[in-house]
Chains A and B, each alone.
Chain A
């Protein structure tokens, strides 16, 4: 029946009344899932359909050919795309970066720098195991590649494999700047039973000569550590300092938004995230804030998030599974579905926020058993985080 009604909606349009047209089109819209509206012809030639972001212009074939043959062009371009993706949350940039690297990745001996950058892309896509594979390949070719050790430490940390991450930080000490090594190791100590000491070490860390990226990283770690220790005031201070220095660091911005939301400071959250609506993680926090304020605008944003998560699911990707779990829990109030998403997320990554969402959803769904992996993980790693305590108490 559907095939008939949806196959030629336009042909019969002229003969159907509006409501009946809706009946005919609705199944089609539901099928495709994410369409907002029905295709139509814009009213005017001047209507702008898309504003092209930096670096999203058509490249002529000769220009593309150059990047296939000259690594000194391909690599910086790919790096540029990765940094744009980081700054804007725009996943398409990762694809452009991948396209730059693809011809080089197909060669019999891939340059280590290409392997490391491709690993960074995979990491951004939350394909952590594949990223580790490439990093190990790069390190076999070039054991003193500091970037590879650092990226490796980061990936292992996200996976909750703290001992291995620590070993990578140690290798870093031989090549890199001492301050980077301090950040690498202290941030791990902060997750493995030495939180106050690690926090103190980072607070007193000398900042002279520190690169901007390292300074931003320090602020971000300090903010998260303060929050895990229950010092929200200090945490906010570090986050705000850090965001002044690195306004495009959206991990830090999201963390700061979460801090504000936990204190139910919805209006300030909206202020913090204004202009960042295009990033799914930010949009989620905006919707949560709007709900706290009883703001009716959230309906459209909710629909948009649902659609974006659906598409991701259809693609079989898990980039925003943690956000999806939180969306289902806090916005849609579907604890069962939220728990399922949190469990799926747990299979991919194990940051403190991943522990938090698994505990929260397990509690909301009245399935304490489901929280067990996260509770075990906390115990084994000796993870300290005051945000987790109430759930830990209750779920025990």
Chain B
């Protein structure tokens, strides 16, 4: 982020030039089944015209003044922007106001979510923001639905604009959720570290309080197979239960326990307590990791009509990503296993680093949840 800091400095040094453009609002809507995620952005100058936020009337709008006007802004947007699915309206709820800088100045950025009565097939948007104050104001819409994006210019006549959102084909849903699963295991570094903690000792045997390299591929292979299978089985169970709304756990709890599970698995490599049946650890904690995966899926939502298929695809994606990691890591650790460095340095110190990282997560997630 050093580049960003340098840029910000340059802006302070040079007089900021503003390009004059006509008045635009920026509406972003992402469709996920019944759920819409989005944001609406209005120039601070337009917000002033619409609802009047310059409380001390000094001709300048400060962040404090804008923030104080946030409830009225939300009310104004709610009155002038309506979104519906197949004729029935979606309930919009706004999140916290932020500020975004654009070519022609600062914009009030208001994120929202909306819940539609049914899975969206035809989206209607009635955009009347600023229509009586500046008839040339337009809403520039970016609508995304899965991998397809469409743009449109809204406003100017008061009639609702209609958009066809393709009911996701089963194949497309499958691919999308498969990709999401792979992406999540790749980006969900906590799951990878947990798996790695269990895999590091899989190429070793514990004898008389000492680690020894496994003599042949076969036992290492089976040891890994057992661990990975147990982990997969366990998280598949809880992922399915959570995704289908059978069981629900607060994310603060699951996220914290996932962090704790990494610490336990990593410490077990340094101070071995469980050496023979790591598959059981994998299973027990795998149950919790399943809830973690489920929270990602909850954000995406499962498409109507393809719930089970999408769940299966997401799960397969996770397994694919996981398998790729295992296939990459295992030959390396197998090749390194005989050297003293592996047993004395890589495994204990690697595990220590993993445990330390997980400890930071544990503190963060348990004490300072981001919501």
Listed in ascending order, the chain A residues whose CB lies under 8 Å from chain B are 1-8, 10-16, 18, 20, 31-32, 34-42, 44-53, 56-60, 64, 88-92, 94-96, 98-99, 102, 125, 277-280, 283, 297, 300-301, 304-305, 307-308, 311-312, 314-317, 319
Distance between Cα atoms of A11 and B146 in the complex (Å):
19
B99 interface residue, CB < 8 Å from A? Answer: yes
Give residues of chain B (1-41) contacting chain A, Cβ–Cβ below 8 Å: 1, 4, 10-11, 14-15, 17-24, 26, 28, 30, 32, 37, 39
B370/A11 in contact, CB under 8 A: yes
B residues near A99, Cβ cutoff 8 Å: 132-135
Distance between Cα atoms of A60 and B57 in the complex (Å):
14
Distance between Cα atoms of A15 and B368 in the complex (Å):
12
B20/A92 in contact, CB under 8 A: yes
A45 CB contact (under 8 Å) in B1, B59, B62:
B62
Task: Name the residue on B nearest A44 (C-beta).
Answer: B63
Task: Name the residue on A nearest B99 (C-beta).
Answer: A42
B145/A3 in contact, CB under 8 A: yes
Q: A-facing mask of B325-345, CB < 8 A → 1, else 0?
A: 000000000000000000000
B104/A52 in contact, CB under 8 A: no
Within the complex, the shortest CB–CB distance from A201 to chain B, in Å, comes to 36
A residues near B53, Cβ cutoff 8 Å: 58
B134 CB contact (under 8 Å) in A16, A95, A278, A317:
A95
A50 CB contact (under 8 Å) in B11, B45, B153:
B45
Given contacts A1-B183, A39-B99, contact A283 B17 (CB under 8 A): yes
B43 interface residue, CB < 8 Å from A? Answer: yes
A residues near B14, Cβ cutoff 8 Å: 297, 300
Within the complex, the shortest CB–CB distance from A301 to chain B, in Å, comes to 6
A-B residue pairs in contact (CB < 8 Å), sample of 13: A5-B183, A7-B37, A8-B299, A11-B370, A32-B142, A36-B102, A39-B98, A48-B60, A91-B23, A92-B23, A95-B137, A96-B133, A315-B24
A-B Cβ contacts below 8 A, count: 219
Distance between Cα atoms of A127 and B172 in the complex (Å):
44
B147 CB contact (under 8 Å) in A3, A56, A304:
A3
B229 interface residue, CB < 8 Å from A? Answer: no
Please name 19 further chain A to chain B contacts, defined as beta carbons within 8 Å, in addition to the given A36-B101, A46-B62, sorted by A numbering: A4-B180, A4-B183, A16-B187, A18-B1, A34-B103, A35-B102, A37-B101, A45-B63, A45-B67, A91-B136, A95-B136, A98-B135, A98-B136, A99-B134, A280-B21, A283-B19, A307-B102, A311-B21, A315-B24
B370 CB contact (under 8 Å) in A14, A47, A59, A277:
A14
B24/A49 in contact, CB under 8 A: no
Task: Name the residue on B nearest A51 (C-beta).
Answer: B60
Distance between Cα atoms of A96 and B50 in the complex (Å):
12
B residues near A305, Cβ cutoff 8 Å: 19
B66/A49 in contact, CB under 8 A: yes
B49 interface residue, CB < 8 Å from A? Answer: yes
A3/B146 in contact, CB under 8 A: yes
B100 interface residue, CB < 8 Å from A? Answer: yes
B21/A91 in contact, CB under 8 A: yes
Give residues of chain B (43-73) contacting chain A, Cβ–Cβ below 8 Å: 43-45, 48-54, 57, 59-64, 66-67
Task: Name the residue on A nearest B98 (C-beta).
Answer: A39
A residues near B22, Cβ cutoff 8 Å: 91-92, 94-95, 312, 315, 317, 319
A278/B20 in contact, CB under 8 A: yes
Distance between Cα atoms of A34 and B43 in the complex (Å):
13
Task: Name the residue on A nearest B100 (C-beta).
Answer: A39
Within the complex, the shortest CB–CB distance from B17 to chain A, in Å, comes to 3
Task: Name the residue on B nearest A20 (C-beta).
Answer: B187
Most B Cβ at <10 Å: residue of A18, A20, A314:
A314
Task: Name the residue on B nearest A105 (C-beta).
Answer: B135
A residues near B24, Cβ cutoff 8 Å: 311, 315
Distance between Cα atoms of A36 and B16 in the complex (Å):
13
A1/B61 in contact, CB under 8 A: no
Query: Which 10 A/B pairs are nearest by Cβ-Cβ distance?
Result: A45-B64, A58-B52, A95-B134, A277-B17, A95-B136, A50-B44, A39-B109, A39-B98, A42-B63, A308-B19
Given contacts A20-B187, A50-B43, contact A58 B62 (CB under 8 A): no
B54 CB contact (under 8 Å) in A18, A52, A102:
A52
Distance between Cα atoms of A91 and B138 in the complex (Å):
13
Given contacts A18-B1, A34-B102, contact A52 B135 (CB under 8 A): no
Give residues of chain B (159-195) contacting chain A, Cβ–Cβ below 8 Å: 176, 179-180, 183, 187-190
Within the complex, the shortest CB–CB distance from A291 to chain B, in Å, comes to 16
Distance between Cα atoms of A89 and B109 in the complex (Å):
26
B103/A92 in contact, CB under 8 A: no
Task: Name the residue on A nearest B190 (C-beta).
Answer: A15
Distance between Cα atoms of A271 and B32 in the complex (Å):
53
A98/B134 in contact, CB under 8 A: yes
A280/B19 in contact, CB under 8 A: yes
Distance between Cα atoms of A223 and B39 in the complex (Å):
49
B149 interface residue, CB < 8 Å from A? Answer: yes
B140 interface residue, CB < 8 Å from A? Answer: yes
B residues near A60, Cβ cutoff 8 Å: 52
B residues near A56, Cβ cutoff 8 Å: 45, 48-49
Task: Name the residue on B nearest A55 (C-beta).
Answer: B49
B364 interface residue, CB < 8 Å from A? Answer: yes
B304 interface residue, CB < 8 Å from A? Answer: no
Given contacts A1-B183, A31-B149, A278-B18, contact A307 B106 (CB under 8 A): no
A residues near B215, Cβ cutoff 8 Å: none
Distance between Cα atoms of A300 and B44 in the complex (Å):
22
Distance between Cα atoms of A125 and B135 in the complex (Å):
13
A92/B134 in contact, CB under 8 A: yes
Distance between Cα atoms of A87 and B157 in the complex (Å):
29
A89/B20 in contact, CB under 8 A: yes
B residues near A38, Cβ cutoff 8 Å: 100
